[in-house]
Amino acid sequence: METRLTHISPDPELTRRLSKALNCHPVLASLLADRGLNSPEEARFFLDPDFSRLTNPFDLKDMLQGVERIHSAVVNNEKILVFGDFDADGVTATSTVFEFLSRAEADVAWYVPHRVKEGYSLQPAHIDIAVEMNVDLIITVDCGISAAEAVEAARSEDVDVIVTDHHEPGEDFPNALAVINPKQPDCSSGLDYLAGVGVAFYLVMALRKFFREKQVWEEIEEPSLVEYLDLFAIGTIGDMVPLVGDNRTLCIAGMRQIRMGSRPGIKAMVQSARLDIAQMDSDDISYKVVPRINAAGRISHARICVSHLTAPSLSEAKTTAQLLDDLNLKRQHIEREIVLDIENRISRDPTLLDGRIIVLWDRRWEPTVLGIAASRLSRKYTCPVVLMSVKDGIATGSCRSVNQINIHQALGANADLLERFGGHAMAAGLTLKEERLEEIAQGLKQYLDTHCSDEDFIPKLTVDAELSIDDITLDLAREIDRLRPFGTANPEPLFMARNLWVGDSVILGNSHRKMVLKGEHSVTGVEALHFNLANTSDLPAFYPKLLFHLKINKFKNYTAQMIVKDT
């Protein structure tokens, strides 16, 4: 199916004004205008933000109550347990709060549950563990907003709970001592775009200020919050929350902190990934660092990652970095096997694509990697994908969607068939009895038939600007790079060029094409990479049009490089 293209069209007068005021390339000015930056002052701050506009952490509902209780626990030497989640957001949030409280000489421990054996969030069984540990206060990070039953169990044991989370609250709200979640309806902080590590970082911001007022730092060295921004950047980028406002400001500072190489755990991971830490960017975080962290929770246990990220020395961190590397390779292998299995099924039975949704299950599939496989397949076939693993009569799985087709609503319309489900519009999880599998497949197909049109299943891309081959220079690539980090609400710009001839061409790694592209009258060309080609035996020598991202090639004398997205 041919991809449908739309083109941005920012106000030309605003673009000219921004370009002149900022002395920047018109393409960068148009991209800033398209992001809603309507004045040179706003654009300058977007490109080079500082901490002057950060939100007051005490604007978050219940922050003062939470901070006061934590201060009391610290000064009275009560036992504190930081309870986290098993993904990159959760383990960076756990590491942030644990490290800070350790610096304050608190009696603090941390706990991350096993993804399969214990499941998500704080459960009543965890309260029993906390009681055995003589815990007085539990602080949840990146979870807890749905843990009403566990909070009640804690109350019955005289254990206080402070919930810090960023997930959508449900009807069953936890009766905790404090609930710090910017998504709760009566929180007016405006920080609803924070990840779990973001809420945790704002808790630490508030604690440091409160502790200063209470003279805690007179006998203990006051920690610098900049030291935790590397964790903030990894968790925020990894959780794919909007990279706007305070998120953008703190992620840019966090990337600078990462490049300094001061945290042994991150430095060891970067070395194992064979990257230059001084040149790290948000792509490296998304594609190299975060998958290594997430692999531990999927294949083994996420507690490895908290120990790794808080390791005091590089020698200790190198051991766990190698383990994370091995787990990630294992995760990749398992994922490839599942995707290949599904591709073979579709090849044998193309009618699997007829229902506008792929719904498949298998007893052999590893449930912890199904979300990654579903994401890959949904992008390829431009339709929602639901993959489930069956064991002992129960099917558990993951859903991924495309083009704003709301898979969470589709599950909700079939809730009577499910044991439980959760998530959001583009990604969700579900659990159901094995005998309901055929029914849920039909129910989801019927929902899409009645609520979606053919238009919803057409692949779409937005072109930010059309460039000639002569426009593609290192100077322009450097200007585009000023928009980083890219992510949700700040996507990487997509460009289009026409009538390109292939000069040199070579295949790398069996499926990647490296080329030099030229215009009809060009003297020099631009290097381009086209990854993951389905067929390398009949490659074009001429492209009528090409869609691409523009990057700086750090490995070849800092030149401009095109990364082909579509043809």
Measured distance CA(330)–CA(310) in Å, rounded: 24
- Are residue 496 and residue 449 in the same domain, yes or no? no
Angle at CA 267, nearest 5°, toward 273 and 563?
40
Residue range 261-266: mean pLDDT, rounded = 96
76 shares its domain with 202: yes
Residue 550 falls within a domain, yes or no?
A: yes
Q: Which residues pair with 138 in a beta bridge?
A: 81, 161
Domain boundary among 179, 208, 226: 226
pLDDT of residue 509: 86
CATH code assigned at 173: 3.90.1640.30
pTM beyond 0.85, yes or no: yes
Residues 385, 481 within the same domain:
no
Tens digit of each residue's pLDDT (9 = 90 or more) over 518-564: 998 777 889 999 998 888 888 999 999 999 999 999 877 789 999 99
Residue 69 lies in a domain: yes
Domain housing 540: 462-566
The residue that leads in pLDDT, 536 or 300, is: 300
Q: Report the pLDDT value the prediction gives residue 536, as an integer from 0 to 100.
A: 85
Q: How confident is the model at residue 474 (pLDDT cuts 50, 70, 90)?
A: very high
pLDDT digits (tens, 9 = 90+) for 267-284: 999 999 999 999 999 999
Alpha carbons 72 and 178: distance in angstroms, whole number: 14
Question: Which residues are paired to 551 by β-bridges?
Answer: 561
358 within domain boundaries: yes
Regarding whether 123 and 70 lie in a shared domain, the answer is yes
Question: How does the average pLDDT of the chain come out, rounded?
Answer: 94
Q: Is 66 inside a domain boundary?
A: yes
Structure confidence at residue 524 (pLDDT): 82
Location of structure tokens 């214990």: 118
Report yes or no: 459 and 3 within 8 Å, Cβ to Cβ.
Answer: yes
pLDDT of residue 422: 78
Q: Report the pLDDT value the prediction gives residue 1, as an integer from 0 to 100.
A: 65
Which band of pLDDT confidence, cut at 50, 70 and 90, is reported for residue 567?
A: confident
Question: Do residues 394 and 533 both lie within one domain?
Answer: no
Number of domains into which the chain is organized: 3
Identify the CATH number of the domain in which residue 466 sits: 2.40.50.460
Query: Percent of the chain beyond pLDDT 70?
Result: 100
User: pLDDT tens across 338-392, in order?
Assistant: 999 999 999 999 999 887 899 999 999 999 899 999 999 999 999 999 999 999 9
Q: How is residue 56 annotated by DSSP?
A: P
